[in-house]
């Protein structure tokens, strides 16, 4: 906030709470602009407004965080993907354990924790990575979100509605066009070809910044988990690229068709590229 626009003494400016909401900052600044005597009252008012607004603000922030970082591997009530369905997860493990696991999955796995090791086994060897920007407060808020969503008849995080109709030759052809960039992605995302390769896309093969995706359909155990992952890639490299440029349902369907076809060809992937 630029305090120079207000005729309040400097000794009061440092007392003004600065919150993430521009609207709240504006409401507070309007209260004490040009009224030095009102600064202490404004601070109290700011605190009241923040406390009144914060449950909704925190809930929305937590839902957005879950959407960006968790739905690629988990649903709440929609069945297993790469990771377990989180519906009623607090009935299976206590909140304190879940918070520790969210904060540092590797540490829990490497400690030999039997439940953590079983999660890896059930995921076919895939380990959960530490979510970007996770804190203890955020982890606790995620647990509360999962509990609230678990109580609903249908959670908003139950997962995509995936068509299970057999892929067609046209689906695979369209998927190849999206992958190589011959057909631009609707929301402006970078073509997969820039960083990845997949079997059968041409002589150049594709990029090597990311891993070979020739068997990704097989690694993620089919269409449903792959499609969910494509809807919200959660790796540190892909998340910022796709946060505002999500793939459409039609693009996900076509790319899944391409990856299924590639996996059917067998062989091995070149996993020399980074996984992020």
Domain of residue 119, residue span: 70-150
The reply to whether 64 falls in a domain is no
Q: Give the C-alpha separation, 64 to 72, whole Å.
A: 13
Domain presence at residue 82:
yes
Res 37: pLDDT: 52
Whether residues 255 and 182 share a domain: the answer is yes
CATH number of the domain bearing residue 202: 1.10.760.10
In a domain, 162, yes or no: no
Q: Rounded CA gap, 108 and 232, in Å?
A: 25
The parts of the chain modelled with pLDDT lower than 70 are 1-55, 57-58, 202-206, 269-276
Residue 164 lies in a domain: no
Say if 205 falls within a structural domain.
Answer: yes
pLDDT score of 32: 46
Residue finishing a domain among 119, 150, 181: 150
* pLDDT score, position 179: 94
Q: Are residues 211 and 247 in the same domain?
A: yes
The reply to whether 46 and 77 lie within a common domain is no
> What's the pLDDT score for residue 274?
46
What pLDDT is recorded for position 43? Answer: 55
- Can you read off the two tokens belonging to residue 142? 């995620």
> Any bridge partners for residue 197, and if so which?
206
Given 55, 80, 97, the domain boundary residue is: 55
Per the structure, the count of domains in the chain is 3
Residue 128 CA to residue 235 CA, distance in Å, equals: 11
> Are 50 and 75 in a shared domain?
no
Give the tens place of pLDDT for each residue, 36-79: 555 566 555 555 555 455 567 667 899 999 988 898 889 999 88
Residues 49 and 75 in one domain: no
Domain boundary among 122, 150, 178: 150
Would 161 be classed as within a structural domain?
A: no
Same domain, 99 and 40: no
How many other C-beta atoms are found inside a 10 Å radius of the C-beta of residue 2?
Answer: 6
Task: With respect to residue 120, please indicate whether it lies within any of the assigned structural domains.
Answer: yes
Report how far apart the first and last C-alpha atoms of the chain are (Å, whole number): 36
d(CA 84, CA 101): 14
Which pLDDT score is estimated for 36?
55
Please check whether residue 275 lies inside any domain of the structure.
no
91 half-sphere exposure, CB direction, 13 A CA radius? 7
To 10 degrees, the CA torsion angle through 94, 99, 105, 109?
A: -30
Domain co-membership, 200 together with 238: yes
């Amino acid at each position: 906030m630029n305090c120079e626009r207000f005729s309040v003494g400097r000794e009061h400016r440092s007392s003004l709470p600065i919150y993430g909401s521009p609207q709240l900052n504006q409401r507070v600044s309007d209260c004490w602009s040009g009224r030095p005597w009102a600064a202490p009252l404004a601070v109290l008012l700011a605190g009241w407004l923040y406390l009144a607004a914060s449950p909704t603000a925190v809930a929305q922030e937590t839902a957005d965080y879950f959407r960006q970082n968790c739905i690629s591997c988990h649903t709440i009530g929609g069945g297993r993907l790469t990771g377990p369905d989180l519906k009623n997860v607090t009935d299976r493990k206590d909140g304190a354990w879940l918070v520790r696991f969210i904060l540092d999955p590797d540490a829990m796995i490497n400690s030999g924790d039997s439940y953590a090791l079983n999660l890896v086994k059930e995921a076919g060897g895939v380990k959960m990575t530490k979510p970007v920007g996770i804190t203890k407060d955020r982890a606790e808020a995620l647990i509360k979100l999962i509990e609230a969503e678990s109580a609903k008849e249908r959670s908003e995080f139950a997962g995509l509605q995936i068509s299970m109709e057999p892929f067609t030759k046209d689906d695979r052809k369209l998927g190849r066009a999206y992958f190589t960039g011959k057909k631009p992605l609707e929301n402006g995302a970078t073509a997969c070809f820039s960083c990845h390769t997949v079997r059968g896309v041409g002589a150049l093969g594709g990029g090597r910044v990311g891993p070979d995706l020739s068997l990704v359909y097989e690694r993620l155990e089919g269409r449903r988990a792959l499609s969910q992952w494509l809807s919200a890639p959660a790796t540190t490299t892909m998340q910022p690229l796709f946060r505002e440029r999500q793939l459409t349902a039609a693009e996900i369907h076509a790319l899944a068709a391409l990856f299924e076809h590639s996996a059917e060809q067998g062989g091995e992937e070149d996993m020399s590229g980074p996984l992020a």
